[in-house]
């Protein structure tokens, strides 16, 4: 069955999750992590899978890459036109797990807020690795974080956020093994937050929580137990 979680992430309701002080903090932290893992290597053509929410447009535009925004439905491109009317984008619609691109035909495949809502996530990784010449970047909720308590805290999370949804969490080892099947290895790995994101939302991006996050980051605790994580993987085995 075709999977279309990006229809929700491209909606106005989803965009509201990143409004206010907490939302600005989340996006600034995410974009900083993405910029760090990309470094100066981003060039050529990049495909942003499920990026109808437009969160990565500012980062990708700075790279000078040709940007392809790929959505599972035409409605996924609506927000892009509203929020980034001047952005030079190629918009493509199709199946998220059967990408209509040739093997190694783009330089970078990137996606955020996506893999945790894809049931057949190995297929998403396989397709991303297939069409990329060199690099795949994505974020994921870590099992070794507060996400381990999700079954216990989901009711509280939903009560605060209202429009939250269930999601999958992953271990680095699990993703490392899946990427290795396609000739890729993890080359960068940045955890974003130590405290649950719904706590930041519930307290409207309170400054004292951000101070705590900085302390966790400086002491190295976030790198061990933080989430979500922005991961970069690069091709090490060329297909014949």
Question: What's the confidence (pLDDT) of residue 192?
Answer: 96
Per-residue pLDDT band for 138 (boundaries 50, 70, 90) equals very high
pLDDT at residue 153 tops 70: no
How far apart CA 71 and CA 221 sit, in angstroms, is 36
Write down the residue that tokens 């190629």 correspond to: 90
Is the pLDDT at 240 greater than 50? The verdict is: no
pLDDT at 64 (0 to 100): 86
How many percent of the chain have pLDDT more than 90? Answer: 67
pLDDT at residue 162, rounded to an integer: 55
Within a domain: residue 72? Answer: yes
**121 within a domain of the structure (yes/no):** yes
CA–CA dist 47, 67 (Å, integer)? 6
* Mean pLDDT computed over every residue of the chain: 89
Q: What is the DSSP letter of 120?
A: T
What is the helix (H) or strand (E) element at residue 48, kind and residue range? Answer: strand 45-49
In-domain check, residue 240? no
> Per 3-state DSSP, what percentage of the chain is helix, strand, and coil (rounded to 5)?
45, 20, 35
116 vs 1, higher pLDDT: 116
* Alpha helices in 109-149, H assignment, sequence order: 121-131
Please determine, for residue 43, whether its predicted confidence score (pLDDT) is greater than 70.
yes
Range among 153-162, 164-173, 190-199 rated most confident? 190-199
State the pLDDT at residue 154.
52
**What is the domain-level CATH number for residue 154?**
3.40.50.150
- Residue 16: its pLDDT value, please? 83
**Separation CA 3–CA 35 (nearest Å):** 28
Domain range enclosing 75: 6-232
Q: Is residue 91 part of a domain?
A: yes
Number of domains in the chain: 1
Domain contains 1: no
Q: Is residue 74 part of a domain?
A: yes
* Residue 157, pLDDT above cutoff 80: no
Neighbours of 78 (CB within 10 A): 15
In a domain, residue 237? The reply is: no
Taking only the tens place, the pLDDT of each residue in 86-135 is: 888 999 999 999 999 999 999 999 999 999 999 999 999 999 999 999 99
pLDDT tops 90 at residue 163: no
Average pLDDT over residues 192-217: 92
The tokens of 76 are what? 């996924």
3-state secondary structure of 232: strand
The answer for residues whose C-beta is within 8 angstroms of residue 91's C-beta and 6 or more apart is: 68, 69, 71, 77, 80
Is residue 132 in some structural domain?
yes
CA distance 237 to 193: 33
pLDDT (average), residues 177-185: 97
């Amino acid at each position: 069955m075709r999977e279309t979680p990006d229809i929700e992430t491209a909606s106005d309701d989803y965009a509201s999750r990143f409004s206010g002080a907490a939302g600005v903090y989340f996006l600034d932290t995410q974009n900083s992590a993405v910029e760090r893992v990309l470094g100066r290597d981003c060039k050529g053509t990049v495909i942003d899978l499920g990026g109808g929410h437009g969160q990565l447009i500012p980062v990708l535009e700075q790279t000078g890459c040709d940007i392809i925004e790929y959505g599972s439905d035409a409605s996924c491109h609506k927000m892009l036109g509203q929020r980034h009317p001047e952005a030079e984008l190629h918009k493509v619609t199709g199946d998220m797990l059967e990408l209509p691109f040739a093997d190694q035909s783009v330089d970078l495949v990137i996606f955020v807020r996506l893999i945790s809502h894809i049931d057949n996530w190995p297929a998403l990784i396989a397709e991303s690795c297939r069409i990329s010449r060199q690099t795949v970047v994505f974020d994921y909720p870590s099992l070794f974080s507060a996400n381990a308590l999700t079954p216990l805290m989901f009711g509280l999370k939903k009560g605060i956020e209202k429009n939250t949804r269930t999601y999958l969490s992953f271990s680095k080892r699990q993703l490392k093994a899946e990427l290795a099947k396609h000739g890729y290895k993890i080359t960068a790995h940045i955890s974003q937050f130590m405290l649950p994101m719904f706590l930041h939302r519930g307290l409207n991006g309170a400054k004292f929580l951000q101070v705590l996050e900085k302390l966790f980051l400086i002491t190295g605790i976030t790198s061990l137990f933080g989430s979500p994580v922005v991961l970069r993987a690069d091709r090490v085995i060329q297909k014949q």
